[in-house]
Structure 1
Amino acid sequence: MQSKNPLRHLLAMIVLLVPMAYLGYVWNELPPRIALHFGASGQANGWGDRNGLLVQTIIVTVITLVAYIVVVNAHKLDKKRTHGVKPPMFDTIAFVAVLFMSIISLAIIINGINPDGMLFNKIVLPATGMFFIFIGNVMYSIRPNRFVGVRIPWTLNNDDNWKHTHRLAGKLFFAGGLMITFVSLVYKTEIAAMFMSGIVLIILVITVGYSYNFYRTTQKNKA
């Protein structure tokens, strides 16, 4: 991973390994039965022992590492598909993704120690909300490309469609992220999880619908 900013890669690797280090630190405190998977409502629906938690954490760490390497080198792997996105943007996206996945892994480990806590509501959902806020900010600066962004036929075939769709999507993700963060800190897990699912659906429908309508309007103006 060659980069003009190797310290960022070092920091990303430290963040990536924090869950593994923390798991080792609390290993003897873990109970025999641990929640390993959570449903959309925030309730645990998959269980195992601490060895299962170790395997899961290792798998998530490896997958996240591979994804990080691919993203930071995306402009080298496929220059055509990544045209329009500067390399520093990929570094930022990759780092935030590593941070987000590490938070999720840590949350699962912490829940193993304190299964009665409001883990999902107080850690995972706010983190998801802040991740949405980040996406909203990034949307404004992503130029047309085939690697990141709202990659649907109407945006990929028209630069104006791409620009206007991403401006709208950026606002929606930012506002949605703020609302998800607030609701997850104030309301119960079930309500917050349902609210987040609704926000995601609304963002997708409005964004795709807007892009399609922009396409239809453009076609009519050409006629």
Structure 2
Amino acid sequence: MKKKMDKMMMISTAVCLLPILLSLIIYDRLPDQVVIHWNAAGEPDDYASKAFAAFGLPFILAAINMFTHFMLNNDPKRANSPVALKLMGKWIVPVVSVIMIPLSLFTSMGVDAPIARTVPAAVGIMVIACGIYLPKCRQNYTVGIKLPWTLDSEENWNRTHRMAGYLWIAGGVCIIVVSLLGVWTGQAIPVIIGILVLVPVFYSYMIYRNGI
């Protein structure tokens, strides 16, 4: 099992580094400053040197990916996490690398990419997928809503994740609808994400206060 996990880590790390091949091909055509971040409305709001964007970011994401695998593989309660949720955790960084870095490079070269719609919609799909599996996630230290109260009480953990599952599915659908309509995207999506984060925390705390 350990060999299989190590093999998956090596493959996913290699995927993180794949954009370097594209960078080598188009490097001379990149501007000196490359966009590396967009706000919720899909507007560029941060830039970096083309050397960092083309070569530095893939290595940073590869390091993050290796750390993620290490944490997931060494969780004492890793057997409690749904396999699908752990796979999502292990592959989210490579997917981000092979999608976002090329988008960053091509956008900086003047290619028109529908960032404001495609990226939030993809986030919405991921939120829905997490919502589906959250209720199936038993107590562990790396995957799920890890709060002092959920980690202290299995009943609190189960109730919080069951509620959060429904909430995240609804929130993911809202994110997709807002992103496709393109209406108030910059204002609505941060509010939705804030609700998805804060409501489970408040709910778990209230359960704790009620002695559960």
Contact kept in structure 1, 2:135 and 2:161, CA below 8 Å: yes
- Mapping for residues 9-48 of structure 1, pairs under 5 Å: 9=9, 12-48=12-48
- Distance in 2 of aligned mates of 1:173 and 1:100: 20
1:113: which partner in 2? Answer: 109
What displacement does 1:144 show? 0.9
Inter-CA distance 197–16: structure 2 relative to 1 (3 Å threshold):
same
Q: Which one has more relative contact order, counting CA pairs under 8 Å at least 6 apart?
A: 2
- Distance in 2 of aligned mates of 1:89 and 1:3: 17
Inter-CA distance 186–57: structure 2 relative to 1 (3 Å threshold):
same
Q: 1:184 aligns with which of 179, 185, 188?
A: 179
1:211: which partner in 2? Answer: 204
Gaps of 5+ in 2: none
1:93: which partner in 2? Answer: 89
Contact kept in structure 2, 1:20 and 1:57, CA below 8 Å: no
What displacement does 1:129 show? 1.5
What SS does the aligned partner of 1:2 have?
Answer: helix
Contact kept in structure 1, 2:120 and 2:176, CA below 8 Å: yes
- Distance in 2 of aligned mates of 1:33 and 1:89: 36
TM-score, reference length from structure 1:
0.78
Gaps of 5+ in 1: none
- Distance in 2 of aligned mates of 1:86 and 1:197: 28
Contact kept in structure 1, 2:16 and 2:62, CA below 8 Å: no
- Letter of the 1:195 partner, please give it: A
| CA-based RMSD | 2.9
- Distance in 2 of aligned mates of 1:213 and 1:171: 18
State, as a whole percentage, how many aligned pairs show the same letter: 22
- Mapping for residues 193-208 of structure 1, pairs under 5 Å: 193-208=186-201
Inter-CA distance 178–101: structure 2 relative to 1 (3 Å threshold):
farther
- Superposed CA offset, 1:36-77 (max 9, x none): 3334443223334422322442343333332343144223xx
- Letter of the 2:196 partner, please give it: I
What displacement does 1:91 show? 3.7
- Superposed CA offset, 1:3-40 (max 9, x none): 1795x556534532332222223323323442233344
- Letter of the 1:107 partner, please give it: L
Aligned length: 211
- Distance in 2 of aligned mates of 1:159 and 1:132: 23
Contact kept in structure 1, 2:171 and 2:192, CA below 8 Å: yes
Q: 1:148 aligns with which of 143, 163, 184?
A: 143
- Superposed CA offset, 1:87-142 (max 9, x none): 77534421234323432323212312235x35431332222222212221231221
What displacement does 1:199 show? 0.6
What displacement does 1:155 show? 1.2
- Mapping for residues 45-124 of structure 1, pairs under 5 Å: 45-75=45-75, 79=76, 82=78, 84-85=80-81, 89-114=85-110, 117-124=112-119
TM-score, reference length from structure 2:
0.81
